């Protein structure tokens, strides 16, 4: 089976989506609709903006979502996903790709998500750190022993786990994890503790928006971050999406489950090749590729 996977925050770059806009009437129409839904000209920032402009809260997450979902829409008959998944933000792109959400509703939720997360970041000084070269269980145990809020947040691949929490607790955990044998404990240049209990204000705000949005029966299963399993029930999909902001991204577990369930190759839809690289960490021979605009 062919699986389509959708990247999360951090994959943005200046010029993203411009080739789609210039070469596809479908893409042009969707980008124009996005400007209308968001109430500002996000396309000009995506196509011509600086790296700093792309890092604006109101821009980053919608930009990645737009690149992914619009690229998927341009693939035409070649786009027939039998399973989908997305890393963090990418899960919303996946839910548009399997027709659970409309493009417009997905974009509205992404915009609200970004702003709610930024507001939550402003409450408590917080951050994230990448821990390389340790077993997941060791990282989890050390985090439990640290005073303050610090948790395992992104299970990216074997030997790479991102922790998240209050700055003093994350710094203390990095010291302890280095002593425990981590190859690296690298503080990340992020503005907050994503996928941790410190995102609770954002979870509450986004929950109301999700509950007010129509979720349709999907065309194929989505492997959701919270459960790392195939989900097809719209009510369950909603619940898992609400929980995602304060729960860990179980991407390692998701990749293993997709392969166990019959994924024979994955196609990354959106900017970058990060997710393909993570699949290669699980199995270096596993077939991966990037989606490309289908020109007829």
- pLDDT of 294 reads 75
Among the four given CATH numbers 3.40.50.12280, 3.40.50.12780, 3.30.70.250, 3.90.1150.200, the one describing domain 126-187: 3.30.70.250
Q: What percent of the chain has pLDDT over 90?
A: 92
Q: Where in the chain is the domain with CATH 3.30.70.250?
A: 126-187
Residue 296 has pLDDT above 60, yes or no: no
Percentages helix, strand, coil for the chain (3-state, rounded to 5) are: 50, 15, 35
Q: Where in the chain is the domain with CATH 3.40.366.10?
A: 2-121+197-290
DSSP string, 64-114: HHHHHHHHHHHTGGG---SEEEESTTHHHHHHHHTTSS-HHHHHHHHHHHH
Residue 106 has pLDDT above 80, yes or no: yes
Strands, DSSP E only, in the chain? 2-6, 83-86, 126-132, 150-157, 160-166, 184-187, 222-224, 229-231, 265-268, 288-290
Dihedral angle, C-alpha 219, 221, 226, 229, nearest 10 ° = 170
State the architecture of 2-121+197-290 in CATH terms. Answer: 3-Layer(aba) Sandwich (3.40)
Active site residues: 88, 195
Residue 124 has pLDDT above 90, yes or no: no
How many other C-beta atoms are found inside a 10 Å radius of the C-beta of residue 13? 14
pLDDT in tens, 3-47: 999 999 888 899 999 999 999 999 999 999 999 999 999 999 999
Average pLDDT of the chain to the nearest whole number: 96
| Cα(145)–Cα(263) distance, integer angstroms | 38
Encoded tokens for 118: 């930024």
CB 161 within 8 A of CB 136: yes
Beta bridge partners of 267: 4, 289
CB 89 within 8 A of CB 65: yes
| Cα(100)–Cα(267) distance, integer angstroms | 19
pLDDT in tens, 157-186: 999 999 999 999 999 999 999 999 999 999
| Cα(241)–Cα(224) distance, integer angstroms | 8
């Amino acid at each position: 089976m062919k699986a389509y996977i959708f990247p999360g925050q951090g994959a943005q770059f200046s010029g993203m989506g411009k080739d789609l806009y210039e070469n596809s009437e479908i893409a042009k129409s969707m980008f124009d609709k996005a400007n209308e839904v968001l109430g500002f000209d996000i396309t000009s920032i995506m196509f011509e903006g600086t790296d700093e402009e792309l890092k604006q809260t109101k821009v980053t997450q919608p930009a990645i979502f737009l690149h992914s979902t619009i690229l998927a829409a341009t693939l035409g008959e070649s786009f027939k996903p039998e399973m989908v998944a997305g890393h963090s933000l990418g899960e919303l792109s996946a839910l548009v790709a399997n027709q659970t959400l409309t493009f417009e509703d997905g974009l509205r939720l992404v915009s609200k998500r970004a702003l709610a997360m930024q507001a939550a970041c402003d409450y408590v000084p917080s951050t994230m750190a990448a821990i390389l070269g340790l077993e997941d269980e060791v990282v989890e145990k050390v985090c439990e022993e640290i005073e303050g809020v610090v948790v395992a947040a992104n299970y990216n691949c074997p030997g790479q786990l991102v922790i998240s929490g209050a700055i003093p607790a994350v710094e203390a955990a990095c010291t302890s994890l280095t002593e425990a044998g981590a190859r690296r404990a690298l503080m990340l240049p992020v503005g907050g503790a994503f996928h941790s209990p410190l995102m609770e204000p954002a979870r509450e705000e986004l929950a109301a928006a999700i509950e007010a949005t129509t979720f349709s029966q999907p065309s194929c299963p989505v492997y959701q971050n919270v459960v790392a399993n195939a989900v097809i029930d719209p009510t369950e999909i909603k619940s898992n999406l609400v929980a995602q902001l304060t729960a860990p991204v179980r991407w390692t577990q998701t990749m293993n489950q997709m392969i166990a369930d019959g994924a024979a190759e994955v196609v990354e839809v959106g900017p970058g090749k990060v997710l393909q690289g993570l699949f290669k960490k699980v199995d270096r021979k596993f077939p991966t590729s990037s989606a490309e605009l289908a020109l007829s």
